Amino acid sequence: MTAIRRPFCTKEQLETIAKKYPTPFYLYDEKGIRDTALKVKAAFSWNKGFKEYFAVKATPNPIILAIMREYGFGFDCSSEAELMLMEAMGVPGEDIMFSSNDTAAADFAYAHRLYAQINLDDITHIKTLESVIDKLPDFISLRFNPGGAFKFANGIFGSPQDAKFGFTEDQVIEAVRYLQSKGVKRFGLHALLASATLSDDYYPTVAKFLCRLAVRLKQELSADVTLINLSGGVGIPYKPTDPANNIEVIGEKVHQVFDEILKPAGMQDVALATEMGRFMLGPYGALVTRVINLKHTYDDYVGVDACAADLMRPMLYGAYHYITVIGKEDEPKNHTYSVTGGLCENSDRFATHRPLPEVETGDLLFIHDCGAHGHAMGYNYNGKLRSAEILLREDGSTMLMRRRETPMDYFVTLDCLPIYRTLQAIYDRKLERGEH
C-alpha cells in the first residue's frame, strides 16, 4: 500500500488562501524551512568554519533568502541577476560563492566588484578572470571533476565522466601552480558530482575526493587549501517509498572523513561548505492548482489550471511529485488519472496513470515537494503566465512574496510601442469587465 503524504497546511487554510489568491500558486512553509536550517547547522557544528551557501537558483525569492540569512547562511550564485539580488540585499562578499560555467567575463568582473568568492569551473576561466580584473584575489576556488563512473549518478545529472562541470585532477594541479605564481594565497576545492541523491554516503564520498586532493596540493605544491565545498546534490524523498537522507548522519560521516584524511596532514582547520537548495527548500514548497476539466477518452484526464510552465520537472525528466487531492487524503485511491495542464504539448502532465481518489471539477490539488527548482524553472511558452509565491507563516498568516504575472508582464519586452499600447488598452478593458 502506498504511504500517505500530508500537506503542510489544512484544508481550511488552503481554501481560505485560494479565495484570496487565485490558483495556481506556490505555497511555502516557513516553519519547515526554519526547522531544516537548524538541523543543517547542528549537523555540521563540529566544523568551526562551516557555512551553508544556499543555492539561489533553487528558490530565488528575497523573502526566502532573508530567512536563510537569519541562520548565518551565505548564497551560491551563478549569474549576473543572482549577483544583483545579493547586492540589493546587502549580502557581503564573503557570504557569496560565485559558481558558474561558460561564464561571461562581465559576470566575473561583477562578482569581483562585490568581493564574492569565485569558484572557477574551467582552467581557461583563469585567463578570462585575469582579463577583467587588475589583480587576482587572495582566495580562489576550483571545481573538481574526477571523471569515471559514479554510483550516485541518476537521470537528472549522470556520471561525472559525462558532466560538463569542473577541472580534471591534472588541470587542478596546473591551475594551482599557476595561480600561486600570480599571488593567490588560499584555495578552495569544490565538486558537484550528482543531483538529488538519496544516500547518506554521497557527501562523505565527495568529501573523500576533495580531501585527498587537498592533501596532495599541500604535499606537492605547499598549497594552502582553506575550504572544502561539497556543493549540493543531497536529495529529498519525492516518492513515499523513497528513503530520506539523515542530515545528522551525513554530518557525522563527513566529520569522520575529515578526521581520517585531513587531520593526519595537519589540515584540521579547513572550513567546510555546502550549497544545498533542494534539501533546504524542496519539501517546504507546493504547487496548488484547481481542477478545471475532466476528460474521458482513451485515458481519464484531470485537467488543472497549472501546467508545465509552472512546474517543468515532470516534463523535463519524468520527475515524480506526490499529489494530494485536498480533503480526500484518506479516501481510497481507486481511480487512475493522468493529471495534465493546458500547454500544446502531450508531455505537459504532472502525473500519468496515477492512482488517486475520485476527482471532481473544482477540487484543489496540492503538488508536493516543489519548493526548489519549481517556480524558478518556470517559463512562458503558449503565453502561460507564472504563478504567485506565497509564504505560510509560522503563525498561520500568509505573505505574498511574488505576485502572479499579468499579460502585460509577458508583453513588456516587445520592442514595438504601438502594439504594446494596443495590448495595454485591451488588458485595461478586460480589467474593467472584471475578467482578471
Summarize pLDDT for 28-47 with one digit per residue, the tens. Answer: 999 999 999 999 999 999 99
Q: Kindly tell me the burial class for residue 351, based on how many C-beta atoms sit within 10 Å of its own C-beta (0-12, 13-18, 19 or more).
A: buried
Superfamily of domain 31-281: Alanine racemase (3.20.20.10)
| Segments making up each domain of the chain, as ranges | 31-281, 283-404, 406-436
Summarize pLDDT for 308-329 with one digit per residue, the tens. Answer: 999 999 999 899 999 999 999 9
SS (H, E, C) the chain: CCCCCCCCCCHHHHHHHHHHCCCCEEEEEHHHHHHHHHHHHHHCCCCCCCEEEEEHHHCCCHHHHHHHHHCCCEEEECCHHHHHHHHHHCCCHHHEEEECCCCCHHHHHHHHHCCCEEEECCCCHHHHHHCCCCCCCCEEEEEECCCCCCCCCCCCCCCHHHCCCCECHHHHHHHHHHHHHCCCCEEEEECCCCCCECCCCHHHHHHHHHHHHHHHHHHHHCCEEEEEECCCCECCCCCCCCCCCCHHHHHHHHHHHHHHHHHHHCCCCCEEEECCCHHHHHHHEEEEEEEEEEEECCCEEEEECCCCCCCCHHHHHCCCCCEEECCCCCCCCCEEEEEECCCCCCCCEEEEEEEECCCCCCCEEEECCCCCCCHHHCCCHHHCCCCEEEEECCCCCEEEEECCCCHHHHHCCCCCHHHHHHHHHHHHHHHHCCCC
Mean pLDDT, all residues of the chain = 94
Output the CA torsion sign for 368, 28, 254, 234: positive
List CB contacts of 16: < 8 A, sequence separation 6 or more: none
Output the pLDDT for position 154: 56
- The three cell numbers of residue 400 are 505574498
Tell me the fold of 283-404. Lyase, Ornithine Decarboxylase; Chain A, domain 1 (2.40.37)
Summarize pLDDT for 324-372 with one digit per residue, the tens. Answer: 999 999 999 999 999 999 999 999 999 999 999 999 999 999 999 999 9
Mean pLDDT of 216-223: 98
The pLDDT confidence band at residue 419, using thresholds 50, 70 and 90, is: confident
Output the pLDDT for position 81: 95
Q: How many CB atoms lie within 10 A of CB 209?
A: 21
Q: What does pTM read for this prediction?
A: 0.93
Summarize pLDDT for 78-127 with one digit per residue, the tens. Answer: 999 999 999 999 999 999 999 988 899 999 999 999 999 999 999 999 99
Summarize pLDDT for 270-301 with one digit per residue, the tens. Answer: 999 999 999 999 999 999 999 999 999 999 99
Summarize pLDDT for 148-207 with one digit per residue, the tens. Answer: 666 665 555 556 766 678 899 999 999 999 999 999 999 999 999 888 999 999 999 999
Closest CA to 71 of 42, 111, 47: 42
Facing residues of 75 across strands?
A: 54, 96
Does 31-281 match 283-404 in CATH topology? no
